[in-house]
Structure 1
Amino acid sequence: MRRYVTRRVLYMIPTLFAISLVAFLIIQLPPGNFLTAYIAQLSAQGQGVDGAQIRALEERYGLNDPVVVQYWRWISGIVFHGDFGQSFEHRREVSDLIWDRIGLTLALAVTTLILSWLIAFPIGVYSAVRQYSAGDYVVTFIGFVGLATPNFMLALLFAWVSFRYFGQSVGGIVSQEYTDAAWNLGKVMDVVSNLWIPVLIIGTAGTAALIRVLRANLLDELRKPYVTTARAKGLPEWRLILKYPVRMSLSPFISTIGWILPTLVGGEVMVSIVLSLETTGPLLVNALQSQDMYLAGSFILVLGSLTVVGTLLSDLLLAWWDPRIRHQHVERV
């Protein structure tokens, strides 16, 4: 098992390098750069552009250098100095912008995951044990509705109902009075009180998917010979179900750890925009639109790194949870 962990950690190094290279190259694919987009924006607003200033900025940021040179300058600064560069649009250090958003993103992702588990686990077990019952049909119908309904539509519905009937806005996680305040107990409680709406909306599709997967896996386990043997020995039904088949069916819950952030950022950007959430999604979209290459590339690299680390943790937890997976890893090594 130790050799397996060491091998997986070593595999992470070329994986992260490939993520950084692909991310930087993709950002460079659109024609022009941040300055050309900025000039076009100023021209559309009827404002003049100082050619000398533009040339000075191009020289300062090396925007006329080859892509390979720009990539090496960026990645070497990260590896050797921990410097992610400076955002063109915000004129701030990229690391400051990232850490301002990544903490709230992680809090939202972890809370959504825990809520999804707490809801999906009992419902999925009940749906499998009571297959084809009225409750199973109701849960199945609700699950299909949850999977088919876009989360941004739920966000718009929540926003409309809250404003129309309660006169309140559901936008943002931090209230206006705490926006510029330092972190203290009051600000933490304010975030907690505002967190439940985006968590409920973002977790809808994930919870429905987990219910369906757990139901299918548990139905498969309940039909296996070891369950019949344990039942024939007189083991109480619920103890039998929870001790053996449920444990073997929980692998999908553990394996979801690795894709929490990519799902939140990649699939829930529209929810974050509708609800004005201060997460990484809207900032990443703006960086891509303005071709702010250092900010966008650093965001993708950080999120990719967290995904790789999360996948490693998922694999290790699966190996610890399921002896069958652990033995397969040992045999391969």
Structure 2
Amino acid sequence: MLSYLARRLLYTIPTLLAVSVVIFLIINLPPGDFVTSLVAYRRQQGLQVGAEEIAQYRAAYGLDQPIWVQYWYWLSGMLFQGDLGISFEYNRPVTELIGERLADTVLLATAALLFTWVLAFPIGMYAAVKQYSVGDYVATTIGFLGLATPNFLLALVFMYLGFKYFDYVPAGLCSAEYCDAGWNLGKLIDALKHLWLPVVVVGTAGMAGLIRILRANLLDELRKPYVVAARARGVPERRLLVKYPLRVAMNPFISTVGWVLPGLFAGDIIVGQLLGLPTIGPLLLNALRQQDMYLAGSLIMVISVLTVLGTLVSDLLLAWTDPRVRLNQGGNAT
């Protein structure tokens, strides 16, 4: 196991280097750059911007350098100084911008994840054990509706219902009077009032998918010969369900660790923009629109690192929990 872990960690180095190159190239593929967006904005304001001033902007932002020089500046800062660069638009270090939104992002994503797991696990298990019952049909219907409904559409529906019937739309994660205040009972209650909407919206699609997957996997395991044999020997149904089939059917929950970590960081970008959430997702979307190269590239790079680490963690957990997954002497999963 240790040799397998070491080998996987070594594989991440060239993987992340290749990912960094792809990220930087893709960000620079659209025509123009941040200076182009800046000049267009200033001209919309009625200001005249000449060629000499444009050249000064490019030199100030380092955009007059070849692309490989810009890439090395960005990569060397990350590797040797832990510096993610300076945001062109905000004129502030990227690490500061991320730090300001990290707590709210993790809070929202963690709450949505718990909401998803707490509901998906018992519903999926009940739907499998009580196949073709009324509850099974209800769970299946919810699953299909959840998978077919985009998160942003669900957010719009909740916002409309809240405004029409309660004259209240919980935008953001806090009211204006509590955003800069210290934590107290009033701020906690206000946060809960705002938190439920993004949690339900973000968690619904994931919950629907996990219900379907858990139900299908558990139904498949319940028909296996070892389950039939154990039931014939008189093993109690609840003990039989928990000890063997459920452990194997839990694999989808364990494998989701691979996208839980990047999800904790980025969240749902469109929902965050729609609900005005102070999370990382809207910051990334705005950086991409403004071609803020170092901010966008650094955010995507952090998400890529978390994706690679999350995949490694999920593989190790699967090898530990699933009796069908073992590591041979060569380090390959079987």
TM bucket, shorter chain:
over 0.9
- Are residues 208 and 329 of structure 1, via their aligned partners in 2, closer, same or farther at CA, if it must alter by over 3 Å? farther
Please state how far the C-alpha of 1:147 moved relative to its aligned partner: 0.7
The TM-score, its normalising length taken from structure 2, stands at 0.93
Q: Is 1:126 aligned with 2:126?
A: yes
Structure 2: runs of 5 or more not aligned: none
The residue aligned with 1:64 is: 64
- Are residues 186 and 21 of structure 1, via their aligned partners in 2, closer, same or farther at CA, if it must alter by over 3 Å? farther
CA contact (8 A) 2:261 2:310 kept: no
Could you say which structure has the greater relative contact order, defined with CA pairs below 8 angstroms and 6 or more residues apart?
1
| Residues 1-333 of structure 1 aligned to structure 2 (within 5 Å) | 1-49=1-49, 51-181=51-181, 187=187, 190-260=190-260, 262=262, 268-325=268-325, 327-328=326-327, 332-333=331-332
- Are residues 45 and 155 of structure 1, via their aligned partners in 2, closer, same or farther at CA, if it must alter by over 3 Å? same
Please state how far the C-alpha of 1:295 moved relative to its aligned partner: 0.4
Percent of paired sites with the same residue: 56
CA distance, structure 2, for counterparts of residue 87 and residue 271 of structure 1: 24
CA distance, structure 2, for counterparts of residue 85 and residue 192 of structure 1: 35
CA contact (8 A) 1:152 1:268 kept: no
Which range moved further: 192-201 or 212-221? 192-201
Paired letter, 1:28: N
CA contact (8 A) 2:34 2:293 kept: yes
Paired letter, 2:62: G
Paired letter, 2:286: N
Which range moved further: 47-56 or 217-226? 47-56
CA contact (8 A) 1:105 1:279 kept: yes
Could you give the per-residue CA deviations for residues 52-76 of structure 1, whole angstroms, max 9, x where no partner exists? 5433332122101111000001110
Structure 1: runs of 5 or more not aligned: none
- Are residues 17 and 187 of structure 1, via their aligned partners in 2, closer, same or farther at CA, if it must alter by over 3 Å? farther
Please state how far the C-alpha of 1:182 moved relative to its aligned partner: 5.2
CA distance, structure 2, for counterparts of residue 330 and residue 168 of structure 1: 61
CA contact (8 A) 1:151 1:202 kept: yes
CA distance, structure 1, for counterparts of residue 263 and residue 50 of structure 2: 42
Please state how far the C-alpha of 1:317 moved relative to its aligned partner: 1.4
Which range moved further: 284-293 or 13-22? 13-22
CA distance, structure 2, for counterparts of residue 313 and residue 241 of structure 1: 26
CA contact (8 A) 2:112 2:200 kept: yes
The TM-score, its normalising length taken from structure 1, stands at 0.93
CA distance, structure 2, for counterparts of residue 181 and residue 83 of structure 1: 30
